[in-house]
Amino acid sequence: MKSDFVLGISAYYHDSAACLIRDGEIVSAAQEERFIRKKHTAKFPSEAIQFCLNDAGVAWQDLRFIVFYDKPLIKFERLLETYLTFAPRGITSFITAMPVWLKEKLFLKNLLRKECGRIAGITNLKDLPQILFGEHHESHAAAAFFPSPFREAAVLCMDGVGEWATTSAWVGNDSSLTPLWEIPFPHSLGLLYSAFTYYTGFKVNSGEYKVMGLAPYGRPTYVDAIYEHLLDVKPDGTFRLNMDYFDYCTGLKMTNEKFDELFEGPPRTPETNLTQREMDLARSVQEVTEEVMLRLGRTLYSETGQDYLCLSGGVALNCVGNGRLLREGPFKGIWIQPAAGDAGSAVGAALSAYHQYLGKPRTIAANGDSMKGSYLGPRYTNDQIEQILKKIGAVYCRLEEDQLLEQMAQHLASEKVVGWFQGRMEFGPRALGGRSILGDPRSKQMQSVMNLKIKFRESFRPFAPSVLRERVSDYFEMYTDSPYMLLVAPVLEKRRVQLTEAQHGLWGIDLLNVPKSDIPAVTHVDYSARVQTVTEATNPRYYRLLQMFERKTGCAVLINTSFNVRGEPIVCTPEDAYRCFMRTDMDVLVLEDMVLLKQDQPPVPEDTSWMQEFELD
Ligand SMILES: [Fe+2]
């Protein structure tokens, strides 16, 4: 019987991506940024699409449908209506945006056909498969529910904005998704968070993670001001923003002078010193976000009576909020789409068309979920890697797995930093042991070394631990799977280091270099950690490395950070990995069975101009 192949695409906003499914099974998925080396790119995902099709050996003619993740006409209606409501304030951005919309985006179907025809080498565009359009939040909801391990569940999507919805609630049952209610633009939890991201001097749609990381250094001093002036939250969690304080409707900037007045100063200039004020602002917006997430979760639970919850949309990357929802909320279990932002909607769009449009049944994975650990991107064989290494003149040796793991565990235990490249590249923003940089979490200096000498990023940023699944409760207050590093949990009381008398008065960034536990490099200032649990089934070689490290050191945890420097997309190819390895203070590089030591490599010219290559995030 002929298979049903569906290609999902998300593009033209941020985090462009493609996904291929075969008879409802997710076969491959990747973000365009990894191929063209531009973080969060909005470009049409030509490279990602070609990877997905080539990897599966699927021709364009084999596709049943191409599905785009949102509906441009409704988005246009929202933009137009918003501009008109706020006219004449947004006239400049209106004039900038409209020609692009009128020329390209409004006729997106034609543009998509042209782009697909171009990469397919098809001149008669009638020969292309039919193009369908999903709705933005429906694609999020589908990405959250269909790959989840649950037969039925409540579904909550929270993001900045797509068409009109910014928050939406659904019930998933087998192969169907039923909408319950939504909160429309401009009232948006994602945009509120982004407004504070902008105001604290970070990049919108990218620096939200930093605000979350900064929050534990701060005090919740602005919570009352947020509730009093910016956000009206009802007991059921639904909310309205007071638009007097925000300028995003006019497309000019996120916040305005009134916002500055309320928080007594202008936005922080990016890259200038962070002060306690930014930390307090971060803590305050984080607390408010968590409270809204908890209330919405409780409401959805009482409305649906479902035991399980699925989450998606950019706000679902707020792993501190997710962790609280799991610990303090009413649900028995929570599953979060690992590519919770718009990239994951390529998966959702394809699955939605398959189950809801074609009416095909859904198969639930026997163990865990259907995202395959999110290892859905390109992989390289040992032979391919050897060829590449020979071509670039790298010095390497090829090892059997046992020897390789033994050596890596030894390097890690002696505080060496290891670039770890094996298997398929991860889909979504987190590296999960396919394209990771690893270190020893017991080391007191590792956080600072890895931030400043390896990643070239801000010193306050915490690192996350990978832990053997069966040992997670020996380190963290966590009793479930967290395969995608999207749940934050407290480090166990017994592992914490109590502050000395002299340290008791310290607050904020002054606490940065005070060890908090026996795994200090992955313990945040508030004793929390963003945990990834690793199983043999999803990533056998990484699992065995963790086992080997535990055998050697008694510690079943490693630092796992993404394989890139600040502003750079996660590495995709062995060439990307080698380049990143040579530009940083990483000590060892593993590419499948190949091991490279920094000291053996031919020197590269002293040149730091590459640092300008990546726009700072
Ligand atoms: Fe979205």
pLDDT digits (tens, 9 = 90+) for 297-326: 999 999 999 999 999 999 999 999 999 999
Length of the chain: 617
Helix (H, G, I), strand (E, B) or coil at 456: coil
**pTM (two decimals):** 0.94
Measured between alpha carbons, how far is 477 from 455 in angstroms, rounded to an integer? 29
CA of 504 to the centre of ligand 1 (A): 42
Provide the mean pLDDT of the chain. 92
User: Which amino acid makes up residue 582?
Assistant: M
CA of 13 to the centre of ligand 1 (A): 9
Q: What CA dihedral angle connects 591, 559, 427 and 590, to 10 degrees?
A: 0
pLDDT in tens, 461-506: 889 999 999 999 999 999 999 999 999 999 999 999 987 877 777 7
User: E strand or H helix at 142, and its extent?
Assistant: helix 136-145
CA of 404 to the centre of ligand 1 (A): 41
In this structure, what token pair is assigned to residue 476? 């963290």
Measured between alpha carbons, how far is 80 from 93 in angstroms, rounded to an integer? 12
Helix (H, G, I), strand (E, B) or coil at 464: strand
Q: Is the pLDDT of residue 94 over 80?
A: no
Helix ranges (H only) for 186-337 are: 189-199, 208-214, 223-225, 257-262, 276-304, 319-328
CA of 94 to the centre of ligand 1 (A): 22
CA of 498 to the centre of ligand 1 (A): 42
Estimate to the nearest angstrom the gap between the alpha carbon of 284 and the chain centroid.
Answer: 22
What mean pLDDT do residues 347-373 have?
95
CA of 271 to the centre of ligand 1 (A): 27
CA of 104 to the centre of ligand 1 (A): 20
Q: Is 596 exposed, middle or buried (0-12, 13-18, 19+ CB in 10 A)?
A: buried
CA of 545 to the centre of ligand 1 (A): 36
CA of 283 to the centre of ligand 1 (A): 24
Q: Is 413 exposed, middle or buried (0-12, 13-18, 19+ CB in 10 A)?
A: middle
CA of 208 to the centre of ligand 1 (A): 14
What mean pLDDT do residues 554-566 have?
96
CA of 99 to the centre of ligand 1 (A): 23
With cut-offs at 50, 70 and 90, classify the pLDDT of residue 566: confident
For the chain, how big is the Rg over CA atoms in Å? 24
Measured between alpha carbons, how far is 59 from 389 in angstroms, rounded to an integer? 31
- Model pLDDT, residue 79: 75
Buried b (16+ CB within 10 A) or exposed e, 487-499: bbbbbbeebeeee
CA of 147 to the centre of ligand 1 (A): 18
CA of 69 to the centre of ligand 1 (A): 9
CA of 439 to the centre of ligand 1 (A): 33
- Model pLDDT, residue 598: 96
Q: Is the pLDDT of residue 91 over 90?
A: no
CA of 160 to the centre of ligand 1 (A): 6
Q: Is the pLDDT of residue 99 over 80?
A: no
CA of 190 to the centre of ligand 1 (A): 9
CA of 194 to the centre of ligand 1 (A): 13
Measured between alpha carbons, how far is 360 from 393 in angstroms, rounded to an integer? 51
CA of 454 to the centre of ligand 1 (A): 31
Residue with tokens 């949990």: 489
CA of 325 to the centre of ligand 1 (A): 20
